[in-house]
Amino acid sequence: MALWIDVASTKVDATAKQLLGLLAELLQEPAKIRLALTEVDVDMSEIEQSEKPKIFLASAVPEVRRQRKMRALLEYLQTKQPARRGDFDYFLSVDEAELVLGLPAGRRDWRITADPLDATFVDVGLSQLVFDRLPLRDRLKRLRDEGYHTLNVTGDQESGKTVIVRLALHFCAVKGVERASVWDEDWTPDAPLTDLDLAMAIISELRDDLTSDQRGKIEDDLRKRVEYVVAPESRARLLVNEVREIIEPSDGEAQWILIDGLEKPQVHPSAVHLVERLILSLNRDLKPSNTKLVVTGFGGKAHRQSLDYRTTPIGSRDIETFIDTVTGGCEPLVTKATRRTWTRNAMDEYEKSGGDLGALGDYLRGRLEKHFAVES
């Protein structure tokens, strides 16, 4: 389990960056990262095991440090890379305590929830705040528990749509559920996410047993299959029919597909058509089986059996509820008057930033970090 907040010193943060650079240089494939962590018995349940090595490592380093497995990892890698002995000797000379994240005061387990979908912080290093939209959490739980297959979250920019995808990702990581996650930020308006890009992203993550040659052949076959198909609906239908056969779970285990930001300019209309057809396939045909889809920003034709939710802008009530949730019952206690002051100041920061959720999150993390900081 990861910790709620990183209260490490500047020295530790700098060391972490150096470590990340060394590890990124030596471990350039997800399989190699996974093997190294397994060799030193790292619990990977809260590590984002992305197919992108940099993301994988960015999540793994703080968790390895927290589990006090960094020395074991470095010693293991040193045996595999004798030519880099000098680099490893430097990090091995650092006090083990300086390679571990600081702990918040008070209860050490207060952040842990029995249900991952009740988490208040998610993402790498638990850096993302989850404001408590109870109806939205409820829909995510219904998607998981009640036989629904798809959930579409819409709403204005900076209204918290992406965080619900990260909450679903957190659930998959904790429970070991296979998932594919596709983010709009990985594309640009000049090189947008197309239907073929989306299809291959889903296939690549859910079928990580495929070799690069096999993935290349699948992509070529899919491209040829729809190359001369003009009608968007027909193209989407053909692609989905192919994709769902490829990603059909062979062992009957559950899998989730998470797609964020379909309303963004870097998403090509063909990708939206593909999602529309995938929603239909999951709800009408139940194919692929045992598959859940969470998507944000989809403005196409919804299915009557799909769950939907529209987010609203963050308000002071959301902020106060969040502060109350994460500080309730924890030492040192926070009074109601203090919570209201923090809420008012946070709302001021939010409005001053022009409604930037990142700025709001930074303020709240800083405020809470200072309150729970470990005294040296």
What is the pLDDT, as a whole number, of residue 346? Answer: 93
Residue 60: CB partners within 8 Å, gap ≥ 6?
33, 37, 42, 44, 47
With a cut of 80, say whether residue 164 has pLDDT above it: yes
Residue 66's pLDDT band (cuts 50, 70, 90):
low
Q: Is pLDDT larger for residue 302 or for residue 148?
A: 148
Residue 376: predicted pLDDT: 29
CA distances from 253 to 165, 178, 256, 284, 289 (A): 20, 8, 10, 20, 9
Measure the CA–CA gap between 376 and 366, rounded to whole angstroms.
18
Average pLDDT, the chain: 81
**What pLDDT is attached to residue 9?**
30
Residues in the chain, total? 376
For residues 31 and 327, what is the distance between their CA atoms, to the nearest angstrom?
39
Backbone angles phi, psi at 140, to 5 degrees: -65, -40
User: pLDDT band at residue 123, thresholds of 50, 70 and 90?
Assistant: low
Choose between 80 and 272: higher pLDDT.
272
Q: What angle do CA 139, 160, 301 make, to 5 degrees?
A: 60
pLDDT of residue 374 exceeding 90, the answer is no
Q: What is the SS3 assignment for 24-49? A: HHHCCCHHHHHHHHHHCCCCCCCCCC
**Mean pLDDT confidence for 127-148:** 83
What pLDDT is attached to residue 11?
A: 35
pLDDT of residue 272: 96
Give the lowest-confidence range in 46-55, 191-200, 235-244. Answer: 46-55
Residue range 349-353: mean pLDDT, rounded: 90
The percentage of residues in the chain with a pLDDT greater than 70, rounded to a whole number, is: 83
pTM: 0.69
What pLDDT sits at residue 367? 85
pLDDT value at position 8? 29
Please report which helix (H) or strand (E) contains residue 58, including its range: helix 53-66
Question: Which SS3 state, helix, strand or coil, does residue 77 take?
Answer: helix
**What is the predicted pLDDT for the residue at 375?**
36
pLDDT digits (tens, 9 = 90+) for 2-36: 222 232 233 334 555 566 667 777 888 888 999 99
Using a 10 angstrom Cβ sphere, with 0-12 exposed, 13-18 middle and 19 or more buried, the burial of residue 201 is buried
**Surface-to-core class of residue 115, CB atoms within 10 Å of its CB (0-12 exposed, 13-18 middle, 19+ buried):** exposed
pLDDT for residue 226:
95
What is the C-alpha to C-alpha distance for residues 62 and 16, in angstroms, rounded to an integer?
8
